[in-house]
Amino acid sequence: MAKRKRPRTTPPLRPIRADLAQPLIDPTTDPAAYLTGIDVEPLFIALRIGALDSHLEEIATLVNDRLAAIDAVEELIAASHLQVGDRVRLGHNLRPQYLHGRMVTIIAKDDEKWLVRLDEPVGRFTNADLRVYARQLEPATPPE
């Protein structure tokens, strides 16, 4: 007889306590300076030993949301430096690895990605254009 799985329930999000977050969102204070005195090691230990298991889904959601926000900001910053017609290099954060460092020309912006054409065909990309994120492109010459 097969066991029936219980439906997974997510715990309700607790309201953000503005009094705790105020020093972090106050534009007149430096959040990094405020956080220098906070020891995060007890948090890591509590996570490792399972003391926060009842909050793991909420923690995971918060961490994933924060990572997505950081990725979005990095993508916007990288995209702000690109224009159609620019010659750039493929970065070291894409696959296949034999594309790393290859020179490409940006030929179009395609929604969130950039369409680039290899200067020299290589591997299975003999006559194909690549769709890459702005973070996967590097300047052709390093800034001085």
**Per-residue model confidence (pLDDT) at position 10:** 63
**Per-residue model confidence (pLDDT) at position 144:** 57
**Per-residue model confidence (pLDDT) at position 68:** 95
CATH 2.30.30 positions along the chain are 87-139
Q: Which of 104, 107, 102 is nearest to 85 (CA)?
A: 107
Which position has the token pair 């997974």? 8
All residue ranges of the chain with pLDDT < 50 are: none
Tell me the pTM. Answer: 0.68
**Pick among 1.10.3470, 3.40.720, 2.30.30, 2.60.40: CATH of 87-139:** 2.30.30
Burial class (CB in 10 A: 0-12, 13-18, 19+), 94: middle
